[in-house]
Structure 1
């Protein structure tokens, strides 16, 4: 039903805020006045996936954006998120999520599932995070070098971009969370349609190119035979296949075979791309002889 993306500096108190958000959402779902669908609230985090803080360690003397272990770790988090997202669940992803490109990737995955989304930015001053990181007793401390590197590379969420919106910021000094606003975003917010770029591509049948070539060649051959006997123009009926016929309106002039073949090549070239690369226009691409013949006859009538 919904995806909540948590983002913030290392040791900013994200997991504490996640616990508060989860408790609030569970309380609202269990309330007597709640009449919506039955939902569960689950948390996915680095700790749930047993990802150590060391996956974010930078390589000694290496200034690449990611360490060798961070990319696979991020991939594991994204895969687990995709597997756990569903229409009967509110999923909270508790991780650094400090790269805007990764948050966009998560946003697109949620849209593809037709889920509502929101981003929670857990805000804490770097000095506060340093102190909290140093004083951690749970064995999940970031090394000093890694901590400073993550602070430097952090890309702050912005309410001005669609993949971070709606955005809720919680300061380290706040005792409460904006529970009501988060609840409204997850239960009443607009469900955006999937991005066209994320739709699965509908491939043409394996014989589509052969059918395209054969159908257009047959129409050209018959049309030239009909047109060579008369230059008065008018409507000509062409048999595409058994029981399938199309009409082509000819102009009142002589038509050459070279002209028809040139138009055929143009038509085939236009449609080859849809065959080889596929089309996201599901249900609109029909590669039958009847459909191709109808489109080609219209194309000829417009260009002759």
Structure 2
């Protein structure tokens, strides 16, 4: 349904705002929707992972995996985490688009001094070291309403007593749903037996054409090729005898071209159909376009 990404300095009040969102959005959303919050704390990710990049990277990967797992059409997912890197926010945005979810960003603003005071006074064991806190604030990349992955953007200063719950509810229930980015779509793959079907069907076609020429005595025209008890295809042959070597050469060319399409997935606007009938019809088209009169 929707994804709400929180962003802000460490100890800026993101978790407090996330709790307020859950409380205030619940009566504003349709009853069939679930409100779910995922956070570093809920995933048992310690603040100490941000002490160095080697531990931070897998922790961020674990968070992203959890986000993907919790995304659903009946869920409004709140991501309560630092989300201080714009590249990571973009990654979350792309995942949401792929799931056809609405998105918005809540920027929780607090001054560095306020964040330092809150971090120093924490007694829950989730305080950052002073060095890590300063480093994270220095590296923080502020959300911007000018970029699509942060929009719509709701900015909430630490001095505000209330959150714009009504506007956020409207964004997650009636905001625009961006279509998936074509770069994130998985390429459709041909079935595992596609190469076998391609080879055997084209061989059967060559054999059937040779038999048809014997029956028509090389007069050409429209003929029906019986490839199997359940499959017959029509092809227009030239008014001459096609040699076996000529047909085999065309068959090799056809197979070579389509092997590449099978290996890469498809070259035909997302349509992958490598059944016997489809391959036979493709080969008919190829032959009719390449056979000399």
Identify whether the pair has TM-score above 0.5, normalized to the shorter chain. yes
In structure 2, the partner of 1:124 is 110
Is contact 1:98–1:155 with CA below 8 Å preserved after alignment?
yes
1:248 aligns with 2:248: no
Cα gap change, 1:262 to 1:173, in 2 (>3 Å) = farther
Q: Which residue of 2 aligns with 1:139?
A: 125
Residue matched to 1:288: 275
Q: CA deviation at 1:204?
A: 3.0
Quote how far apart the aligned CAs of 1:121 are: 1.8
Contact 1:37 1:88 in 2 (8 A): no
Shift of 1:77: 1.7
Quote the residue 1:28 is aligned against: 28
User: Would the alpha carbon gap of residues 207 and 13 (structure 1) be closer, same or farther in structure 2, given more than 3 Å must change?
Assistant: same
TM-score between the two structures when normalised by the length of structure 2: 0.83
Residue 39 in structure 1 maps to residue 33 in structure 2: yes
Contact 1:241 1:289 in 2 (8 A): no
Task: Give the distance between the partners of 1:201 and 1:231, measured in 2 at CA.
Answer: 44
- Unaligned stretches of 5+ in structure 1? 30-35, 59-66
TM-score in terms of structure 1 length: 0.81
Deviation at 1:143, TM superposition (A): 1.6
Q: CA 1:259 to 1:149, structure 2 compared with 1: closer, same or farther past 3 Å?
A: farther
2:131 and 2:231 mapped to 1: Cα distance?
73
Tell me, what secondary structure is at the counterpart of 1:86?
coil
The reply to whether residue 180 of structure 1 matches residue 166 of structure 2 is: yes
Q: Which residue of 2 aligns with 1:276?
A: 263
Q: 208, 223, 227: which one pairs with 2:194?
A: 208
Count of residue pairs the alignment pairs up:
290
Report Cα offsets for 1:187-235 as digits up to 9, x if no partner: 1122334444544554433322111011112223443565698776532
Conservation of the 8 A alpha-carbon contact between 1:117 and 1:185: yes
- Which residue is equivalent to 2:288? 301
Q: 1:291 to 1:158 in 2, by over 3 A?
A: same
What 5-or-longer segments of structure 2 have no aligned partner? Answer: none
Match of 2:43 in 1: 49
The answer to whether the 8 Å contact 1:112/1:195 transfers is: yes
Q: Is the 8 A contact 2:28 2:166 kept in 1?
A: no
Q: Is the 8 A contact 2:107 2:155 kept in 1?
A: yes
Q: 1:84 — aligned with what?
A: 70
d(CA) in 2 for partners of 1:280, 1:174: 54
CA distance in 2, matches of 1:258, 1:152: 72
Compute the RMSD of aligned alpha carbons.
3.1
Distance 1:261 1:253 in 2: 17
Secondary structure at the counterpart of residue 227 of structure 2: strand
Distance 1:281 1:225, change over 3 A: closer
